[in-house]
Chains A and B, each alone.
Chain A
């Protein structure tokens, strides 16, 4: 079946640095991908919709200059957390719709820890 991968699976960085997270659809094309954030013991919150060939659409309250999204190709979307701070530590998950948009395929997530 369809697979979505994320890289890295976990990352530790110093405060003030930027971190890039990749989301790839491995055997299908995705003109749209979605980025979610999950805090411990809380639900996944949609951050933004990544659109191939155009700007990402951000959910209310999400800083677009903080969380840069680039949908470079039909199989790759990247999320860059700029000038990361400890409060950005979280679990980031991407997803991509399958054919006919009937379901979503999720990546395994990336654990970010900012020291």
Chain B
């Protein structure tokens, strides 16, 4: 079956530190990969995505590269800010028709706290 494994948190960093959150996956077929972020009291929001091998998704200074050879989609940011404090979810979806973007398989989430 399909699964997503994220590094366990919580992750605590000082402002301007470098961030990496590891994500690996197993899937039958060729998945699309996503990072979602959940800020306190809000719903999950799409942060970035990549739909094929070697694609790099980027947004708000975050980036992740779809590595098929290592089945990974690690999230990185060069300099985190206090406002980046949130829960980050790695997820995959298998393209199989119009509603496939709803059938997401999630990792367990990683709590990030950034201190001033």
Binding site for B on A (CB under 8 A): 4, 32, 34, 36, 41-46, 49, 93, 95, 97, 101-109
A32 touches B99 (CB 8 A): yes
Choose among B89, B99, B100, B102 the residue that contacts A43 (Cβ–Cβ < 8 A): B89
Q: Are B45 and A106 in contact (CB under 8 A)?
A: yes
Collect the chain B residues with CB atoms within 8 Å of residue A45's CB: 106
| B interface with A by C-beta (< 8 Å) | 4, 36, 38, 41-46, 89, 98-109
Query: How many angstroms from the CA of A93 to the CA of B41 in the assembled complex?
Result: 12
| Contact in complex: A103, B99 (CB < 8 Å) | no
Q: Are B41 and A108 in contact (CB under 8 A)?
A: yes
CB distance from B93 to the nearest CB of A (A): 9
Are B102 and A49 closer than 8 Å at their CB atoms? yes
A101 touches B98 (CB 8 A): yes
Indicate which residue in A42, A102, A104 contacts B104 across the interface (CB closer than 8 Å): A104
Residue of A nearest to B103 (CB): A46
Q: How far is the CA of A104 from the CA of B105 in the complex (A)?
A: 13
How near does chain B come to A6, taking the closest CB pair, in angstroms?
8
Query: Among the listed B45, B101, B106, B108, which residue makes an inter-chain contact with A97, where contact means beta carbons less than 8 Å apart?
Result: B101
Residue contact B102 to A95, C-beta cutoff 8 Å: yes
Of chain A, the residue at the smallest CB distance from B90 is A43
User: Bound state CA distance, A46 and B1, in angstroms?
Assistant: 14
**Identity of the chain A residue whose Cβ is nearest the Cβ of B8 in the assembled complex:** A41
Q: A residues within 8 A CB of B105? A: 43, 46
B99, A49: Cβ atoms closer than 8 Å: yes
Do A104 and B101 touch across chains, with their CB atoms under 8 A apart?
yes
Our pick among A41, A44, A95 for the contact of B89 (Cβ within 8 Å) is A44
Flag if B102 contacts A32 (CB, 8 Å): yes
Q: Given A42, A106, A108, which contacts B108 in the complex, CB threshold below 8 Å?
A: A42
Contact present for B99 and A97 (CB under 8 Å): yes
